[in-house]
């Protein structure tokens, strides 16, 4: 493997030059730093970073996607592809979908939502219609899947094997049998027991899916990085275990599953269970390795002292669209799909005072996500707890917006986000363009990320909280141009603007400086002046 290579390029389109060099050397392990300014010099590639572009793109369209940087033209692509640097030995085979992958198959889906009218299983905070709408949105999130029809059917016993009482089950079976084009029935429950699934499949002669399986397939479809793929592999294990039990029961009926495999001293079930345990162990080790790299990155970002702003919220509320609007990064691709963003990605932006910040795009939340799925993906949200500011985006036009807010807050609670972060969290009401009028109290910021309304207010609010929470102040400092004051400020603070007074040999410098650094400045220079 080629060693990482850092180029110092002085001319031309850096992106073009980098790809040409990459082709010539056959190496993807390239990073590029321009010599344009000391500002850029700060962006040394992290160890193992595959690509870190800091430079001006050709601007002829081809690489204009690398925009949205912190300098007027300096683009930063902070996508964390560091995991691709990991020693790939043994990881690849873990990421191959092991079972239940339906993303490449065409599916014609019928959704049935079991509506519990009373009892402990009744949902009081939402309606069957809204739950059905979310189930339909899940189906629409997979390009090869189409929704044939949907039905809300009442039940008193959602935990029974057939989910519905005898009468309604018969009605449902007749409807399904009257729709021969159906290839799958999606029962909108968190998860079905393997036995129930098997029996229903036997009766209806088509695939039977629950929310767990549908969401897992959407995750699989959208997973791009190693970490996401490994997390899916982990989330898949309970399904593999369940289907193994079924298989063994089936073999037992034929007198085989529990027998010892010749010479091994293990039964078929024991061998398979051991293999799954081994798989789980390897996935967890691989994930741990990737997380260590992420921790390293987190420390590096901190060392550079760029404030980190995590943008989170319910799935499809407009997080990616908002980050795109705030950073001008046209590379970002918002999509009208649930779970379009599965990987935590970071994007450089500038606050109105020209302080560089990092926006973190996160995976969306969904209510009633099966526990195993939440567990395997919660690690991607760990970064949220290490931010300087949380921005909670809400789709205020959504009929379920209040419930969505409640489920986001409950996940944040589980993630043990520090109280101080929750106290300073900014709530953004997005998609106001879809409402005739929107009245919100002063604590929230109404915006339309898509049409750019309210973004300046939001940026100002972000700036105020970021400066406060990171102990930074915005100051005008008068410096003597003959003293090292100015170069000290360039090194230790972020110089925003400068006005030179030639006659007096002084300058007025606008800086953003941490309180600690300002204390050092006073100590160093105020005695001299």
Ligand X SMILES: Nc1nc2c(ncn2[C@@H]2O[C@H](COP(=O)(O)OP(=O)(O)OP(=O)(O)O)[C@@H](O)[C@H]2O)c(=O)[nH]1
Binding site for ligand X (CB under 6 A): 313, 315-321, 334-341, 364, 430-431, 433-434, 448-450
DSSP state of 453: B
Q: Tell me which of Mg ion, ligand X, none is bound by residue 376, counting a contact when its beta carbon lies within the kind-specific cut-off of 5 to 8 angstroms.
A: none
Nearer to ligand X, 13 or 363 (CB): 363
Region of 47-55, 199-207, 261-269, 341-349 interacting with Mg ion (CB under 5 A): 341-349
DSSP state of 522: I
Q: Tell me which of Mg ion, ligand X, none is bound by residue 331, counting a contact when its beta carbon lies within the kind-specific cut-off of 5 to 8 angstroms.
A: none
Nearer to ligand X, 286 or 308 (CB): 308
When CB distances to ligand X are compared, the closest residue is: 364
Question: CB 319 → Mg ion: shortest distance, Å?
Answer: 5
Q: Which of 317, 325, 358, 328 is nearest to 455 (CA)?
A: 325
Question: Angle formed by the axes of helices 226-253 and 371-378, to 10°?
Answer: 150
Per-residue H/E/C for 125-144: CCCHHHHHHHHHHHHHCCCC
Q: Tell me which of ligand X, Mg ion, none is bound by residue 370, counting a contact when its beta carbon lies within the kind-specific cut-off of 5 to 8 angstroms.
A: none
**Interface with Mg ion, residue 131, by CB under 5 A:** no
Nearer to ligand X, 163 or 340 (CB): 340
Nearer to ligand X, 173 or 403 (CB): 403
CB 510 within 8 A of CB 498: yes
**Strand locations in 343-433 (E):** 345-350, 356-361, 389-395, 426-430
Cα 333 to Cα 324: distance, rounded to the nearest angstrom: 8
Question: CB 321 → ligand X: shortest distance, Å?
Answer: 3
Nearer to ligand X, 137 or 385 (CB): 137
CB 385 within 8 A of CB 420: no
Q: Largest Cα–Cα distance in the chain?
A: 100
Cβ contacts of 89 within 8 Å, gap of 6 or more: none
**Strand locations in 136-255 (E):** 145-155, 184-187, 207-209
Region of 183-191, 257-265, 339-347, 381-389 interacting with Mg ion (CB under 5 A): 339-347
316's torsion region: left (phi>0), alpha (psi -120 to 50) or beta? Answer: left
Question: CB 103 → ligand X: shortest distance, Å?
Answer: 16
Nearer to ligand X, 316 or 470 (CB): 316
Nearer to Mg ion, 31 or 449 (CB): 449
Cβ contacts of 299 within 8 Å, gap of 6 or more: none
**Interface with Mg ion, residue 341, by CB under 5 A:** yes
Question: CB 362 → Mg ion: shortest distance, Å?
Answer: 8
Sheet with 145-155, strands from edge to edge, namely 145-155, 107-116, 184-187, 207-209
Instruction: Figure out which of the listed residues 248, 310, 320, 367 binds Mg ion, where binding follows CB under 5 A.
Output: 320
Q: Tell me which of ligand X, Mg ion, none is bound by residue 339, counting a contact when its beta carbon lies within the kind-specific cut-off of 5 to 8 angstroms.
A: ligand X
Q: Tell me which of Mg ion, ligand X, none is bound by residue 349, counting a contact when its beta carbon lies within the kind-specific cut-off of 5 to 8 angstroms.
A: none
Question: CB 78 → ligand X: shortest distance, Å?
Answer: 17
CB 50 within 8 A of CB 1: no
Nearer to ligand X, 155 or 448 (CB): 448
Cα 443 to Cα 360: distance, rounded to the nearest angstrom: 22
Region of 215-223, 286-294, 306-314, 320-328 interacting with Mg ion (CB under 5 A): 320-328
Q: Tell me which of Mg ion, ligand X, none is bound by residue 213, counting a contact when its beta carbon lies within the kind-specific cut-off of 5 to 8 angstroms.
A: none
Question: CB 287 → ligand X: shortest distance, Å?
Answer: 21
Q: Tell me which of Mg ion, ligand X, none is bound by residue 315, counting a contact when its beta carbon lies within the kind-specific cut-off of 5 to 8 angstroms.
A: ligand X
Question: CB 401 → ligand X: shortest distance, Å?
Answer: 13
Cα 455 to Cα 421: distance, rounded to the nearest angstrom: 22
DSSP state of 113: E
* Kind and range of the H or E run holding 247: helix 226-253
Q: Residue 308 is encoded by which pair of tokens?
A: 């980190």
Question: CB 331 → Mg ion: shortest distance, Å?
Answer: 13
Buried b / exposed e along 249-269 (16+ C-beta atoms within 10 A): eebeeeeebeeeeeeeeebbb
Q: Tell me which of Mg ion, ligand X, none is bound by residue 337, counting a contact when its beta carbon lies within the kind-specific cut-off of 5 to 8 angstroms.
A: ligand X
When CB distances to Mg ion are compared, the closest residue is: 341
Question: CB 298 → Mg ion: shortest distance, Å?
Answer: 21
Strands 184-187 and 145-155: unpaired
Question: CB 427 → ligand X: shortest distance, Å?
Answer: 15
Binding site for Mg ion (CB under 5 A): 319-320, 340-341
């Amino acid at each position: 493997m080629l060693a990482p290579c850092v180029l110092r390029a002085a001319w031309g389109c850096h992106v073009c030059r980098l790809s040409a060099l990459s082709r010539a050397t056959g190496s993807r392990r390239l990073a590029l730093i321009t010599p344009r300014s000391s500002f850029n010099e700060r962006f040394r590639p992290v160890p193992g970073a595959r690509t870190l572009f800091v430079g001006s793109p050709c601007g002829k369209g081809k690489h204009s996607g690398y925009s949205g940087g912190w300098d007027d033209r300096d683009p930063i692509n902070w996508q964390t592809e560091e995991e691709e640097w990991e020693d790939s030995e043994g990881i690849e085979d873990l990421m191959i979908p092991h079972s239940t992958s339906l993303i490449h198959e065409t599916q014609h889906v019928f959704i049935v939502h079991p509506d519990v009218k009373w009892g402990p299983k009744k949902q009081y905070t939402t309606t069957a219609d809204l739950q059905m709408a979310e189930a339909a949105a899940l189906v629409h999130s997979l390009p090869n899947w189409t929704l044939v029809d949907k039905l809300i059917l009442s039940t008193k016993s959602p935990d029974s094997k057939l989910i519905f009482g005898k009468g309604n089950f018969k009605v449902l079976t007749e409807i399904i049998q009257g729709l021969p084009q159906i290839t799958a029935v999606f029962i909108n429950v968190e998860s079905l027991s393997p036995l129930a699934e098997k029996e229903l499949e036997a009766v209806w002669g088509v695939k039977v899916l629950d929310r767990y399986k549908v969401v897992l397939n959407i995750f699989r479809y959208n997973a791009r990085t190693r970490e996401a793929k490994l997390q899916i592999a982990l989330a898949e294990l309970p399904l593999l275990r369940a289907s193994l039990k079924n298989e063994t029961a089936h073999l037992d009926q034929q007198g085989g599953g529990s027998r010892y495999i010749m010479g091994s001293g293990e039964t078929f079930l024991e061998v398979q269970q051991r293999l799954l345990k081994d798989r789980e162990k390897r996935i967890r080790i691989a994930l741990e390795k990737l997380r260590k790299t992420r921790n390293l990155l987190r420390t590096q970002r901190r060392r550079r002292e760029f404030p980190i702003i995590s943008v989170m919220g319910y799935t499809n509320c407009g997080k990616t669209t908002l980050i795109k609007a705030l950073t001008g990064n046209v590379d970002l691709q918002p999509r009208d799909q649930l779970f379009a963003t599965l990987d935590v990605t970071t994007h450089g932006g500038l606050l109105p005072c020209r302080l560089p910040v990092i926006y973190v795009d996160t995976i969306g939340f969904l209510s009633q996500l099966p526990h195993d799925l939440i567990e395997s993906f919660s690690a991607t949200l760990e970064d949220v707890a290490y931010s300087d500011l949380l921005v909670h985006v809400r789709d205020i036009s959504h009929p379920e917006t209040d419930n969505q807010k409640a489920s986001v807050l409950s996940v944040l609670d589980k993630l043990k986000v520090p109280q101080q972060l929750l106290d300073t969290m900014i709530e953004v009401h997005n998609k106001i363009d879809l409402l005739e009028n929107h009245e919100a109290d002063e604590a929230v910021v109404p915006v339309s990320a898509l049409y750019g309304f309210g973004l300046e207010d939001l940026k100002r609010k972000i700036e105020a909280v970021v400066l406060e929470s990171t102990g930074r102040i915005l100051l005008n400092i008068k410096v003597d141009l003959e003293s090292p004051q100015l170069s000290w400020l360039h090194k230790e603070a972020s110089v925003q603007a400068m006005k030179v007074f030639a006659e007096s040999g002084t300058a007025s410098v606008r800086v953003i400086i941490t309180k600690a650094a300002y204390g050092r400045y006073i100590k160093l220079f105020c005695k001299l002046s």
